[in-house]
Amino acid sequence: VTIGTALLIVVLSVFNGFFDVIQGLLLQNDPDLRIESTASNAFLFTGDMEKKLSDIPEIQAMASYVEGKALLAFEQSDDKVVQVQGIDPDQYFKVNNFNESISEGTLDLSVRNKKPGMLINGRLMNELNLRIDDEVVLLSASGMRKSLTQFSLPRSFRFQIRGSYSQVQITEGAGVFIDKEAAQRLFEMRNTVSGIDLRISNTDEAESVKEKLQATL
């Protein structure tokens, strides 16, 4: 369990006095708490674990996610390694005010005409000269390694860009968002997740909630 930006906000506010401004900027896009595995980059998110989290009264919402790096390929630009995050949009909106960050198009990650949707960082979109409705290909690092050892073509996944976003971030965030199940297929993480983001009722209680989580999970 790691504390998000809540602790950082308290430290910053001591120096500059703009607590409300900083809180609004940083907590707009970051979870209050995040659960990750220290043993590996993925873990099973079981129904039992979900119930234990739901039973903690301070937790208002939770959203599991899958993340990793992949090669983004587009026929009219150079290939680029990007950070990919797979989410369930309905859950994600309850934890992060991400809908306010959409700058063009929509956050539609569903499958349309046999192609899943993608949301891409606006700066990355401009850098690669991409547009809404363009189709791009993602190849995971693990998939490329497997193709080298098994002497086969790497498995690629095609996505359609449905929207772009702009965020204020203090750490490296996702370059592209796709549906969580699509990300599990891309990174070969069947039934596992990279982490769980949490929104709590009062950020001042982040440390005490963290202790509850460590005792429960």
CB 22: neighbour CB atoms within 10 A? 19
CB 14: neighbour CB atoms within 10 A? 8
Indicate if the pLDDT at residue 6 is higher than 50. Answer: no
Indicate if the pLDDT at residue 12 is higher than 70. Answer: no
Q: Which position has the higher pLDDT, 194 or 14?
A: 194
Buried b or exposed e, range 171-207, using 16+ CB within 10 angstroms: eebbbbbbbbebbbbbbebeebbbbbbbbbeebeebe
List, for residues 77-128, the tens digit of each pLDDT value: 788 999 999 999 999 988 987 777 899 999 999 999 999 999 999 999 999 9
Least confident span in 25-39, 128-142, 182-196: 25-39
Domain boundaries, the chain: 2-216
Indicate if the pLDDT at residue 139 is higher than 70. Answer: yes
Q: Are 154 and 96 in contact (CB under 8 A)?
A: no
Q: Which position has the higher pLDDT, 148 or 3?
A: 148
Buried b or exposed e, range 63-84, using 16+ CB within 10 angstroms: bbbbbbebbbbbeeeeeeebeb
Least confident span in 22-26, 51-55, 129-133, 192-196: 22-26
Whole-structure pTM value: 0.83
Using a pLDDT cut of 90, give the percent of the chain over it: 53
> Which of 84, 61, 46, 103 is CA-nearest to residue 180?
84
Average pLDDT for the chain:
83
Supply the Cα-derived Rg of the chain in whole angstroms: 18
Secondary structure (3-state) at 163? strand
- 96, with CB counted inside 10 A (0-12, 13-18, 19+), is buried
pLDDT number for residue 5:
43
Strands 157-165 and 115-121 turn out to be parallel
